[in-house]
Amino acid sequence: MLVKSSRVLLSQQQREERLFADVMQEVKRIMKAEAAMLMLMDDSSSPDEPPVLYTKYCEGIDISETTPIDTGIMGYVARTGKPFIADDVREAGDLYDPQRHENYRGTGKPVRSVMCIPIFDTRRRVIGVIEVINKKSQRGDLDFFTERDKDILGNIANHVALNVEGTGSSLRKVLRMVREQSNTTAQIVRSASSSLRPIQLDPDQSRSQPNLVVKVARGTQ
């Protein structure tokens, strides 16, 4: 009986690990990020020490470590419960750490754009964070995380919380919905791009405006 119970528990743990792996793979793809990390709060910390986050799963980089909640961007988000978005982490003030962000956790990857979202349990306590770094455009250039990205990742974080608490959720269903939304947005962008035509300037006008530049506002791409 004990052996059977152990096998059932192991099977549940394996399914959970596989689920979180699938989730983070999809988060990385949907967010167009170079890497995505799920960090959970370690409840076994000593009362005399600050709580720490531990690596649950990473996609895009191979790290396994703990982070005190009084350290770095993840720690800030876990401590305050506030989402964090930076177009360039080098402009993040005291949260920018050259040793950490120019060689991200020893992986050799420099961090530029970053977004970190808190994970709350049903009592509104922070139980972890999800962080994504270095968003890329369709052409592979560095891009910026948007408010829409924050809303999507926040929705995923809510369902991750239910799974962490063991109450269960339709996390796979949510991921399918988000994937469909992402694909729909991509189709709209492609359709809009294909409908654009080069602006033909009158020869006299082009000579009178040799330095004409079209600027695209952030968030419209």
Give the model confidence (pLDDT) of 101-115 as tens digits.
998 877 888 999 999
> DSSP readout, the chain?
-HHHHHHHHHHHHHHHHHHHHHHHHHHHHHTTEEEEEEEEEETT--TTS--EEEEEEEESS----EEETTSHHHHHHHHH---EEESSGGGSGGG--HHHHTTGGGSSPPP-SEEEEEEE-TTS-EEEEEEEEEEB-TTS-B----HHHHHHHHHHHHHHHHHHHTS---HHHHHHHHHHHHHHHHHHHHHHHHH-------HHHHHH-TT----PPTT--
| Domain parsing of the chain, residue ranges | 8-169
Which CATH number is 8-169's, of 3.30.450.40, 2.60.40.420, 3.40.718.10, 3.40.50.720?
A: 3.30.450.40
Q: What is the pTM (predicted TM-score) of this model? A: 0.73
Per-residue pLDDT tens over the stretch 124-177 = 999 999 999 999 998 889 899 999 999 999 999 988 888 787 765 556 666 676
Per-residue pLDDT tens over the stretch 36-90 = 999 999 877 667 777 888 888 888 887 777 888 888 999 999 999 999 999 999 9
